[in-house]
Structure 1
Amino acid sequence: MPGTTSPLERFNTAPAQDAERALLACLHSPRWALLLAGHRPYPDVASLLAASDEATYDLSPEELAEALSAEALPSLPEDTYTAAHTALNAAHAAYEAKFGHVFVICLDGVPEDEVLDRVLEDIRSRLANDPEDERGVAAEQLRLLARERLAQTLGARGTSRPVTNGPAPGKHDKVPPR
């Protein structure tokens, strides 16, 4: 439709503060948001997502910790039984005690009926990691989360089911609230 601007065009031309605010909703890292907003305009969504990946890889340990601390816990599907909540709460508590931050996981593309099993399997598996290895895994999950949220914000991809109960959109995130 003539005269209609795309989400990418709106992002590219938005005032810097508005662009940064939109980016912070995807990943709470002020430097990441500043870098991405500062390199506008992007010729296409793929270029923006590539820049997002690169900026995420460059997060310092402190910036990674800040981004992790801002992550919201995802909710489970409504029909999840109580025992599953108990198991996830225990696994989450063990993970947070060991690593000092909440468990993050990107569930993009995981069918709704497999979410619970995937989260339980991944958290249990990742509890075996040493803190340095887990920091790398968590950073990669944050990169995937930021990428999916950014694509969703720009309308580049739809998500089949939201699972966040925090401010950032997406169908992935952390283990359910305690």
Structure 2
Amino acid sequence: MPVQHRRPPQVSGAPGVPSAALVAGLARFNSAPFATAEAALLECCGSRRWAHRMAAHRPFPDLASLLAASDEAGYDLAPGDIAEALAAEPAPCLHHDAPRAAHLALRAAHAAYESRFGHSFVICLDACPPSQAVDQVLAGIRVRLTHEVDEERAVTADELRRLARSRLVELVIEGW
């Protein structure tokens, strides 16, 4: 369960990031060797098909184009690709100073979710303040446990796309 604590990415740029830094980061991403870009993209979404497609479609003229391509590639993922991406997601974790009860509650909620749906729970928390992350995750699991399998599959795919977008913005701004 990846927990994202940043604000949602802006399509025209990233808040607080000078446009020159964004342009430079995108240029470095676009010019990176294919294998390097593909490996970095796998950190954004664990589907090899998605990462290969994104690396192959470079260069991207701007962040909006990169994010649009990410969405398109995400919508085209087959169930096996989504399963591969879910398997690559990091294990849930909290800050070490979080109360033991919070750790136990999250562990139990994740176990219930995985038992019901057969894969890990993913949620993008970009718009959520860090102080509310545990509550949002627990509320999300509680709501999503009521979903039918097909409905949850669609929600999970959407959350993976949102996570990939967020991670792409981070990659372009900080990772190159």
Q: Give the TM interval when normalised to the shorter protein.
A: 0.7 to 0.9
Q: How does 1:69-108 map to 2 (within 5 A)?
A: 69-108=87-126
Q: What is the CA distance between 1:35 and its match in structure 2?
A: 1.0
Work out the CA distance in 1 between the residues paired with 2:93 and 2:125.
12
CA distance in 2, matches of 1:80, 1:51: 37
User: Is there any run of 5+ residues in structure 1 with no aligned partner, and where?
Assistant: 159-168, 170-178
**Larger helix fraction of residues:** 2
Contact 1:95-1:103 within 8 A present in 2 as well: yes
SS in 1 for 2:44: coil
Supply the AA of the counterpart residue of 1:123.
I
RMSD: 1.7
CA distance in 1, matches of 2:116, 2:56: 36
* 1:74 CA drift (Å): 3.4
Q: Distance in 1 between matches of 2:73 and 2:139?
A: 29
**Percent identity of paired positions between Structure 1 and Structure 2:** 55
Confirm or deny that 1:110 pairs with 2:128: yes
1:124 equivalent in structure 2:
142
Give the length in aligned residue pairs: 154
Distance 2:139 2:58 in 1: 39
- Output one character per residue of 1:114-167: Cα deviation in whole Å (capped at 9) or x when no partner: 111101100011001111111111111100111000100101xx8xxxxxxxxx
> Is 2:151 aligned against 1:133?
yes
Find the partner of 1:63 among 41, 57, 81. 81
Give the distance between the partners of 1:106 and 1:120, measured in 2 at CA: 13
Q: TM-score, normalised by structure 2?
A: 0.83
Residues 65-97 of structure 1, C-alpha deviation per residue, up to 9 Å, x if partnerless?
110011002322343211222111111111001
Deviation string for 1:6-55 (max 9, x for gaps)?
11111111111111111011111111111111111110011001100110
The letter of the residue matching 1:92 is H
In structure 2, list runs of 5 or more residues that go unmatched: 1-20
Is 1:77–1:112's contact at 8 Å kept on the other side of the alignment? no
Name the structure, 1 or 2, with higher relative contact order (CA <8 Å, separation 6+).
Answer: 2
Q: Which residue of 36, 40, 58 maps to 1:40?
A: 58
User: For residues 104 and 51 of structure 2, what CA distance do their matches in structure 1 show?
Assistant: 36
Query: Could you tell me which residue of structure 2 aligns to residue 23 of structure 1?
Result: 41
Q: TM-score, normalised by structure 1?
A: 0.82
Equivalents in 2 of 1:88, 1:12: separation in Å? 39
